[in-house]
Structure formats: structure tokens, C-alpha cells
Amino acid sequence: MNRRTRLLSLAGILFLLVCSLGVQAYTADTSARTRQTASGAYPGNTLISVQDYQYDGRLIEVTPKGDVAWEFDPPNSRVFDAERLKNGNILVAVTTKLEPKACPAEQLQVNSDQCIKSRVLELDYETKNVVWKYTWYDEYITHHEVHDVDRLANGETAIIDMGNDRAFTVNQQGNITWEWHAENHLEQGTPFYAKHGGDPNPGGEKDWTHMNDIDRLENGNFQISVRNFDAVIEVNPNTNKIVDVIGEPGNHSFLYEQHSPQRLEEWGTILVADSENDRIVEYDTASGQRVWEYGGNDILLWPRDADRLPNGNTLITDSLHNRVFEINEQGDIVWEYKGVDLPYSADRLSVPEESGKTVPGWQLEDRTSNAGDVVGTIRSIEGWASYVFPTWVKLPELLTLVASGLVTLAIVVDLSIYGLSALLEYRG
């Protein structure tokens, strides 16, 4: 086959592949949709925070029928934990990507192209006006977002600052009233490190702890999720000492880079989105015994939130499947909302934020299912590909993209060789 025929053939194949990808995009179902049974779902609207794969995060309130009843859509931002306060306002964690000209010079040392503004906002529900805020600047957005905020009974606000490996509280005047730095309690030389180990502190702007959740317990201590340590710790704010640890760095069979632990203090258990294990798991906090489990990579893909509802149902945020859904005590889906890009958390608004009055895991039925290695790997690739490509791009579309890339490469190589040969012939 001569060069001209080969190039025409490759161009024809590339044209067909591009057309195929266009058809796949046109026929893809990207609409949000809801599935529910005739009965069984716990009543109330659902508040869903949407991180988004790029910077188009938002916060939405969804009715049981799937209608969006309320929405907060900050520009160029990712949205994380949110809650409705007793006064009806909404408290939400927002991280906004800024252009360099809007950034303090000290926050452009690592990446001069961008910085971020971490914002804790209290919004008037009706007007969406900001009625209270606490903000700070940080370096580039990846692994520096503010993931969790909670309004405390005394009116102060507890905040997790992932970019600076700290937990702290602020009062209504914006003054820090308590602060806990992981470097003083988790790195080499500390009692925690001597007993449990963990990754050494790399310093700088590296993602060391990835602390992603904070809750105040009934005893006044703070529960903090340290994702990269595979552990949930309990800190006494009076002494700043770690008084309890659930999980252990590197013990991935117990917890593996978890999110959003919910302490069910009435029953002495903790419900955790065990993200990298693709499951929701509940442990007895005293014995460490697993009392309930739901998931596996045939059901979930990187879940990041789970709430036990008063009737024993569990509300789950299945992030890389782009859905939030509710299961009953038998593990059957009774409500599902799909079509949101990378949801982070979900709350049933009819349930108080810190309510622990519910059903323990030992009264529920386990349900787990894992796909084979090949299928599981494919699903994982599809999920993580959403960070680069639109969410409708699955395995067939990925194969089309790969084939298109290879054909394009072949055309470029062929033309380069032809150009080099022509140049050598001319000089000769």
C-alpha cells in the first residue's frame, strides 16, 4: 500500500471514529432522574452537595419526586459539606478557584497560575444572601479544599482545613476559639505515631493528612476523620490529646481512606463511608467489631457519605456513580437520584443534623457484592475517567477515544516520516 492510499485509509477510519463518538455523545443520557418505590423512603427533601469534576459545584435541595426545590450555584467553585441550621439558614463549605491577580502573593509560591479561597458561608434560605462567613486563602485547589463545617450548640462553627492539616472553631465574630494542628499530634515523635504509625509529614503543600470531617460528640470531644491515615480519631479540646482511635494507618481491611463518619452514640457504633473499599461499614466503637456492611465494587464506587435515618434506612452518596440513594433495612433501594456530577454529601432535611436516634447495624441485613477483577477494574477506570472526560464517557466511548488517538498518532508519524524523507531527498 503506497503512502497516499495509507493516509487516505487512516483519515477515513478517523472520520468514522469521530462520527461514532458524536453519535455516542448525542445518544448519551445525562439528565437527572429519580427512582422510588411506592413506599419505604423516609419522608423529606434531600440536601445534596455537588463537588463536580471541574469547578461547577453547587448545592441542591431535591424533593422525593426528584424536583430541584432550591439551588445555590457559586461560580468557579467546588461545594462540599452543607447543613440546614435551626434558624432555617444553610451552612455550606465552598472552595473557589481564583485567578492569580485576585490572590495574595504568598499563596502563589507553589503554583503561580491560581490560588483558592476557602469559604464557610451561612446563607439566608429565601434570598441566598450571605449572612455570615469565614474565609481564608490557600494554594492551588487540589487537596486544599475545605471539606466539612458544623455549627455547634454554642453558636461557634467547627471547620476542617485540609490544606493546612488543622481543625479549628470560630465564633460569630470570626475569632478562632480552638485550634488543633495535626503536625503536633500525628507526625514522627508523637505518641500516636509511636503506636499507630502513618506517613511522615512531607511538609509544604503536600496532601499529608487529608482531614475531611469534624463532629462534636456528646462528651464535648471532637471526632475527626484523618483520611490518609485510614483512621477516625477523638480529640479532647481541653488538652488537645487524642483519646481514641478507630482504624489504623495502612490497615485497609478495616478502613481505607474514609469519609463522613457518623457516630450513633445511642448504640455505641460508628457508620463510615469506607471509600476506597467501595462500601459503607458500621463498627462497634468499643470492640472494633463490624456490625453491618453494605457495598462492594459491584454496588458502590467511591462512596463518601452515609447517614442512618430514624426508620433504619441508610442514605448513601455514591460519588463515582454520580448518584444519591436510600436503602431500607434489607438493603433494597427505596429512593434514588442520579445525574449529579460527583456528589459529595447528602442530608435528609427532615432529620436533625446531629441526630443519633435510629436503628443500629446489627438489626439490619448486610449486602455485599464484588465484581471480578476485570469488571471491577473497568468500572474503576470508567469512574476515575470522569475527572478528565464527561460523565457519559464509559468503556465504549473510552475505546473510541483511544482508537482515535492511535489513528491520529499513526497519521502524524506517517506525515513526519514523509516530511523527513522529502527533506533528505531535497538536500541530497
98 φ, ψ (degrees, to nearest 5): -115, 155
- Eight-state DSSP code of residue 342: S
Q: Compute the distance between CA of residue 257 and CA of residue 291 in angstroms, rounded to an integer.
A: 20
β-pairing verdict for 90-98 and 115-123: antiparallel
| pLDDT tens per residue, range 170-185 | 999 999 999 999 999 9
For the beta sheet containing 343-348, the strands, ordered from the edge strand earlier in sequence to the opposite edge, are: 68-72, 58-62, 46-50, 343-348
Residue 428 has pLDDT above 60, yes or no: no
The mean-pLDDT minimum among 6-15, 190-199, 233-242 falls in 6-15
Return the pLDDT at 89: 98
State yes or no: pLDDT of 349 exceeds 80: yes
Q: What is the mean pLDDT of residues 196-218?
A: 95
At how many degrees (to 10) do helices 373-385 and 395-427 cross?
Answer: 70
Do residues 44 and 351 lie in contact, with contact meaning Cβ atoms separated by under 8 Å? yes
pLDDT tens digits, one per residue of 400-421: 888 888 878 888 887 777 665 6
The pLDDT confidence band at residue 22, using thresholds 50, 70 and 90, is confident
> Cα Rg for the chain, rounded, in angstroms?
24
Residues 6+ apart with CB under 8 A from 239: none
pLDDT at site 31? 59
CA angle 304, 306, 310 (to 5 degrees): 170
**How large is the average pLDDT for residues 81-102?**
96
C-alpha cell read off for 215 = 463532629
Q: Is 98 helix (H, G, I), strand (E, B) or coil?
A: strand
Which of 149, 261, 264, 275 shows the shortest CA–CA distance to 245?
A: 261
| pLDDT (average), residues 82-92 | 97
Q: Report the distance separating Cα 291 and Cα 308, nearest Å.
A: 14
**Burial profile 390-402: b = 16 or more Cβ within 10 angstroms, e = fewer:** ebebbeebeebbe
Q: According to the model, what pLDDT value does residue 13 have? A: 84
Rounded to 10°, the helix 395-427/3-27 angle is 160
Averaged pLDDT for residues 247-261: 97
From CA 242, how far away is CA 248, in angstroms rounded? 14
Please check whether residue 290 is in contact with residue 335, taking contact to mean a CB–CB distance below 8 angstroms: no
Of 68-72, 147-151, 173-177, 339-343, minimum mean pLDDT range: 339-343
Distance CA 194, CA 149 (A): 30
If one compares 383 and 262, the residue with the highest pLDDT of the two is 262
Model confidence band, residue 97 (pLDDT cutoffs 50, 70, 90): very high
Residue 425's H or E segment, with its range, is helix 395-427
CB atoms within 10 A of CB 406: 14
State the DSSP H helix or E strand holding residue 7, giving kind and residue range, or none if neither: helix 3-27
The pLDDT value recorded for residue 343 is: 97
Mean pLDDT of the chain: 90
Tell the residue number behind the cell numbers 499507630, with chain if given. 196
pLDDT of residue 83: 97
The whole-angstrom separation of Cα 49 and Cα 69 is 14
Return the minimum-mean-pLDDT range out of 83-87, 258-262, 355-359: 355-359
Is residue 424 scored above 70 in pLDDT?
A: no
Q: What pTM, to 2 d.p., does this model score?
A: 0.89
38-64 confidence digits (pLDDT tens): 578 999 999 999 999 889 999 999 999
Cell 469506607 identifies what position?
274
Please tell me which residue, 243 or 409, carries the higher pLDDT value: 243
What's the pLDDT band for 378 if we cut at 50, 70, 90? confident
Question: Which residues does 389 contact at the CB level (< 8 Å), separation at least 6?
Answer: 397, 398, 401
Kindly indicate the confidence band of residue 17, based on its pLDDT and cuts at 50, 70 and 90. Answer: confident
In this predicted model, which residue has the larger pLDDT, 30 or 312?
312
Cα 27 to Cα 393: distance, rounded to the nearest angstrom: 11
Mean pLDDT, residues 13-34 taken together: 73
What pLDDT does residue 387 have?
74
For residues 364-373, average pLDDT: 90
Task: Specify the pLDDT at position 30.
Answer: 59
